[in-house]
Structure 1
Amino acid sequence: MSLDDPLIDEAYRVLAERPGFLIRRLHQIHVSMFVEECAEFNITPVQYSVLTALAERPDLDQVTLGAQIGIDRTTTAGVLARLAERGLIQRRASPVDKRMRLAAITAEGRKLLRRMDKKAQRAHDRTVAPLPKEDRAAFLRYLLHLVDASNDYGRAPLHLP
């Protein structure tokens, strides 16, 4: 579809010229693809991101973990509680600060990630599949650039180590 197509409704043309509208819509599409591919695992994309982050860096506190994937403290707490209920992560008090709880992925969580990897990757691949192969890496670079350049405007800025 092209904005130059005379069959495109004018109302859609106005929306289609708004990056925020298109980004939100693409996110909705990706989440649907992820849910379709990964339905058997009963894991949301955010939960998958949390498990992935904990697989790479165990024993993260809630604030650091949220900052690494760009979700707020309340959302992080809810996600961690649901993952802990399923035995996919474990939480313990920090030896340095007893008020702080650390999260770590369990063996069961790692096993689930391994089982999910191909299907989750398929959802990611399907999201960019309509683009020509030679444009996919550039699209991801542009997305990364936009996120990085405007990161501080997010409700929960992303802070990578």
Structure 2
Amino acid sequence: MKNQSSPDTIAEAAEPDQAWTQAILERPGFLIRRLHQIHVSLFMEECSGFDITPVQYSIMSMVSLYPGKDQHELGQAIGVDRATLANVVARLEKRDVLRRENAQHDRRVKQVFLTQAGQDILDQMSEPARRAHARTIEALPVKGRAQFMSAMKTLTEAGNIHSRAPVKS
């Protein structure tokens, strides 16, 4: 149920100063941050029963696709810095969702694997996560969705070198 006092649009939230509202709505960074907030909210709504964040879901998905990748490789594959990745993996390991093993070639290197419980959660989350992603872009016309996704890929690939945790291809 919508709160009677909450605005319907971003523009309505800032009506007292229309020039400022228009200026901020022209900033890609502001809109990207807002869209990210909206997506996280939709993801958490759709996936509320799993107690898994979007970053955790990305890590679990990558580990499912590439079992045994080490933590450094995982961070590079999904654009998460080393400290954040280690923290998230440790939390998921405590929940018995992931397990880490020392690599045979170098005992300092930790390879990451999904546990059966982790694979079960990932399987159960597949449809709710898909719905969250679809809801994020559902306001776009169907034909515009592919263009939007293509534009986002172009921007992230072009700006990858400026990231705190660049994705390695």
Shift of 1:60: 1.1
Task: Give TM-score, length-normalised by structure 1.
Answer: 0.93
Runs of 4+ displaced beyond 3 Å: none
Q: Partner residue of 1:33? A: 42
Note if 1:148 corresponds to 2:147. no
Note if 1:99 corresponds to 2:119. no
Deviations 1:55-88 (A, max 9, x none): 0001111111001110000000011001101111
Deviations 1:28-54 (A, max 9, x none): 000011011111000000000000000
Total equivalences in the alignment: 156
Residue identity in the other structure for 1:56 = L
Residue identity in the other structure for 2:142 = K
Deviations 1:83-135 (A, max 9, x none): 10111111010100011111111111111111001101111000000000110
Structure 2 gaps of 5+ residues are 1-8
Q: Partner residue of 1:53? A: 62
Note if 1:22 corresponds to 2:31. yes
Q: Partner residue of 1:119? A: 128
Residue identity in the other structure for 2:69 = L
Q: State the distance in 2 between where 1:10 and 1:129 align.
A: 29
Residue identity in the other structure for 2:80 = I
Correspondent of 1:11 among 9, 15, 20: 20
SS in 1 for 2:47: helix
Q: Partner residue of 1:81? A: 90
SS in 2 for 1:91: strand
Q: State the distance in 1 between where 2:148 and 2:18 align.
A: 26
SS in 2 for 1:9: helix
Residue identity in the other structure for 2:112 = A
Q: Partner residue of 2:76? A: 67
Task: Give TM-score, length-normalised by structure 2.
Answer: 0.89
